[in-house]
Structure 1
Amino acid sequence: MINIIIKELGATVYMVFFSTLFATILGFVFGIIATVTSPSGLKPNRIVYKILDAIINVLRSFPFIILIVFIIPLTRAIVGKSIGNTAAIVPLTIAAAPFVARIIESSLKEVDPGVIEAAKSFGASDGQIIFKVMLKEAVPSIISGLTLTIISVIGYSAMAGSVGAGGLGKVAITYGYQGFRTDYMVTTVIILIIIVQSLQSLGNYLYKKLN
């Protein structure tokens, strides 16, 4: 049992790490664009903001289990297959990216307008205001939001185990539920609880440290 759990724990870490990485990159891009083009942004653009806002809302509306099936053609086009750990990264990324985008957008909008105006008065460019003022001020809030995102991705990765991916979700479903092995199920749940609690504690620590 130990060997199986260690192997699938590694699969979970693999899926969560890369999907969170890609989702963070996409989320930062979309979040910054949404912030800049919003009615109160540095470069208001109603059309761009409305389109991006609609895309983010639509993607956030999909239940993850439906999203996995819905984007199977896209997953095949990107990784060449629709099942497995690598294939699961595609829907995991698409599911998490809108949440990251909203986190970035809300965090940047929480920055004190007075700080932004002060930067403008010193002749800072829009790029400097975004990356050297707004993002710097929003770091604690972003860290807190990304912590919640990682925890959500862990939950999604467990769900992906029901449709062909590996990881702890596969252990719980295949060996625990379908194999009638309560010990597998209980061990998996305990490991997930420990991981989530550890990540939340680390996120809280970093938030307090950086705030």
Structure 2
Amino acid sequence: MSWLTPTMQDLLLEAFWETLIMVGAAAAIAVALGLPIALLLHVTDRDGLSPRAWINKPIGLTVNAARSTPFIILMVAIIPFTRLVAGTSIGTGAAVVPLALAATAFLARLFENALREVDKGVIEAARAMGATRLQIVLKVLVPEALPGIIAATTVALVSLVGFSAMAGAIGGGGLGDLGIRFGYQRFMPEVMATVVILLIVFVQGLQSLGDWLVRRVSHR
């Protein structure tokens, strides 16, 4: 393969590393923010442990607004915020900001659905034993919903891989950026095919890992 020069190998490795950074950092932030938001939405729901419509509705509307905004538009719309946080609007670090925001809204709803699947009988049993709301949340809701939380995180990771490739179209770096610059703009279909294969393998690895973790947690 004459096109796979040492320089191109270095570029592919660097691009893959940038994709890992974008997906990993954005996912970590999204989980850290999305789970508390999901818990707040679930607890303050009308059937929750502490119904508070004045809290639930504004947060729910904000999450829905973020989820319904196409990612490419979200990236452009929050450029001032991205500059404020990352100090720049281009590059791998800057791409993490819109990726994390999009994933947070996405995960918040997925986590909320996982929490809703928890058997209400278990919650009532905990209440009957005198557990506080905080104890129910930390020791009943989250552990019982853990398989669904892991499955939701896996779905979000796979989506983030696609979003990271899209971020490459506007200078975010990563495999998407490499595929566009060399595969499309420089008419090198071999590079584009290699990028696609790497993304497929990466996604398959994430999905397999997520499925394995779900099975392990479900068999506690």
Give the TM bin, normalised by the shorter chain. over 0.9
Equivalence for 1:122 = 129
The counterpart of 2:78, out of the listed 52, 71, 87, is: 71
Equivalence for 2:34 = 27
Q: Is 1:145 equivalent to 2:152 in the alignment?
A: yes
Equivalence for 2:119 = 112
Separation in 1 of the partners of 2:189 and 2:166? 18
Between 58-67 and 201-210, the greater mean CA deviation after superposition: 201-210
User: Superposition RMSD on alpha carbons, in Å?
Assistant: 0.7
Equivalence for 1:136 = 143
Equivalenced residue count is 211
SS of residue matched to 1:165: coil
Separation in 2 of the partners of 1:19 and 1:205? 22
Separation in 1 of the partners of 2:211 and 2:95? 28
Structure 2, unmatched stretches of 5+, are 1-7
Q: Is 1:17 equivalent to 2:24 in the alignment?
A: yes
Separation in 1 of the partners of 2:135 and 2:106? 25
Return the offset for 1:152: 0.4
Return the offset for 1:203: 1.2
Return the offset for 1:127: 0.8
Moved over 6 A (4+): none
- Could you tell me which amino acid in structure 1 is paired with residue 52 of structure 2? N
Equivalence for 2:3 = none
SS of residue matched to 2:166: helix
Equivalence for 1:37 = 44
The counterpart of 1:173, out of the listed 173, 177, 180, is: 180
- Could you tell me which amino acid in structure 2 is paired with residue 73 of structure 1? P
Separation in 1 of the partners of 2:11 and 2:183? 12
The counterpart of 2:59, out of the listed 38, 47, 52, is: 52
Separation in 2 of the partners of 1:60 and 1:140? 23
- Could you tell me which amino acid in structure 2 is paired with residue 24 of structure 1? V
Equivalence for 1:200 = 207
Equivalence for 1:90 = 97
Equivalence for 1:189 = 196
TM-score, normalising length from structure 1?
0.98
Structure 1, unmatched stretches of 5+, are none
Equivalence for 2:164 = 157
Separation in 2 of the partners of 1:186 and 1:25? 35
Separation in 2 of the partners of 1:6 and 1:202? 22
SS of residue matched to 1:82: coil
- Could you tell me which amino acid in structure 1 is paired with residue 16 of structure 2? L
Return the offset for 1:80: 1.2
